[in-house]
Amino acid sequence: MSRADKRRYKARRTLIWLLMACLAFCLSGCGRNTQSAPDTIEMYYFYDGFCESCDKLGEFYNELSEELQGVQDQYPYKVIPCNVFGTDGTKTEAEFFKKLGVDADALKLMPVPILVINGNIYHGDDQVRQNLREAYLAAGKAMEK
């Protein structure tokens, strides 16, 4: 094989590898529908679980069952709990709320628990309890659209 043939062979091989890489990159996004509506209502529940004997999360699940009684089967939902006690939880909380446009200073003023449903924020026991049912139903209706 001459020198020129070796260069052409190497150039073809490089070109084929580049085309395969481009094809793999393009195909990796095929079949994904990033604009699809969620099929489950996600309820983000931020609570302070510093006390081992206090079951804040269990209390929330009981409250959720009471508030959604009779309508809980209308829309599927899942609770995503986040214990904000400690630095890991606080960091997760700050990052999450930053995406929602809530700055760190405003977040510090919000009492826990904090419930986020469909981008709406409810903080403090009373506000969470008072808005739980309506927020769930509103999120479900928004899912249907």
What is the H or E stretch that residue 63 is in? helix 56-67
Other Cβ atoms less than 10 A from the Cβ of 90: the count is 17
Average pLDDT for the chain: 81
pLDDT for 35 equals: 45
pLDDT for 18 equals: 59
Which of the residues in the chain have pLDDT under 50? 22-23, 26-27, 29-36
Whole-number percent of the chain with pLDDT over 90: 41
Tokens of 16: 């084929």
β-sheet with 120-123: strand ranges across = 77-83, 41-47, 114-117, 120-123
